[in-house]
Amino acid sequence: MASLPTMFITDRLRVRRIDVADEPIMYAVYSDPVAAKFVDDGLPIARELVGPWIAKTQENYACYGYGLSAIEWRDAGEVMGLVGLVHPGGQLEAELKYSLLQSFWGQGVATEVAHGMVAYARDELGLSELIATVNPEHLASQRVLAKAGFALREDRPNDDGSVTRVMAWRCPAA
């Protein structure tokens, strides 16, 4: 995987583009019922949806210059999760998404990669605003986002009666 383009590097991490060879790690991350509880509809992903998701990511790279990316240890290359900027449902605003294998929770990886992605979005992509959506019960993720400079924008009601918390980051005025 070392030949795939690097998006950015932090003190401990390397974030790189994904490709079809990353299907097993994407499936491992998003099929975990505990991790999936706070992603999308709260259900683990079906294996047959992983390939199309990677294909959509390839389209996003071509269209926007970014998409879902793999998070690796900088020196070891072990993939521990995914992070990226996406436009679900064709929304106009770039949305920060991240998810890690449970074995990497509580190690500061999410905070480090969220900071890195915000800096990358600002410095390399020229984006001045990002959003992130989070389940209101997912306090750990809200803390990660707050550390990365996101603040509550709104609690958005969903058709099923649930609520999605929308947090936003804006580039400070120069």
Could you tell me if residue 116 is inside a domain?
A: yes
Question: Binning pLDDT at 50, 70 and 90, where does residue 87 land?
Answer: very high
Q: Under the phi-then-psi rule, with left for phi > 0, alpha for psi from -120 to 50, and beta for the rest, what region is 37?
A: alpha
For residues 43-51, average pLDDT: 89
For the record, the structure tokens of 91 come out as 């929304």
Q: Mean pLDDT of all residues in the chain?
A: 91
For residue 1, pLDDT over 80 is answered with no
For residue 76, pLDDT over 80 is answered with yes
Helix, strand, or coil (residue 30) = helix
Count of C-beta atoms within a 10 Å radius of residue 128:
12
Closest CA to 127 of 99, 92, 88, 165: 92
Could you tell me if residue 170 is inside a domain?
A: no
**Alpha-helix residue ranges (DSSP H) falling in 18-104:** 23-30, 33-36, 50-64
Could you tell me if residue 156 is inside a domain?
A: no
**CATH assignment of the domain containing 18:** 3.40.630.30
Res 146: pLDDT: 97
For the record, the structure tokens of 136 come out as 């209101």
Which structural domain range is residue 75 located in?
6-127
Could you tell me if residue 147 is inside a domain?
A: no
- 100-152 pLDDT, tens per residue? 999 999 999 999 999 999 999 999 999 999 999 999 999 999 999 999 999 99
Res 2: pLDDT: 47
For residues 34-43, average pLDDT: 76
Res 168: pLDDT: 97
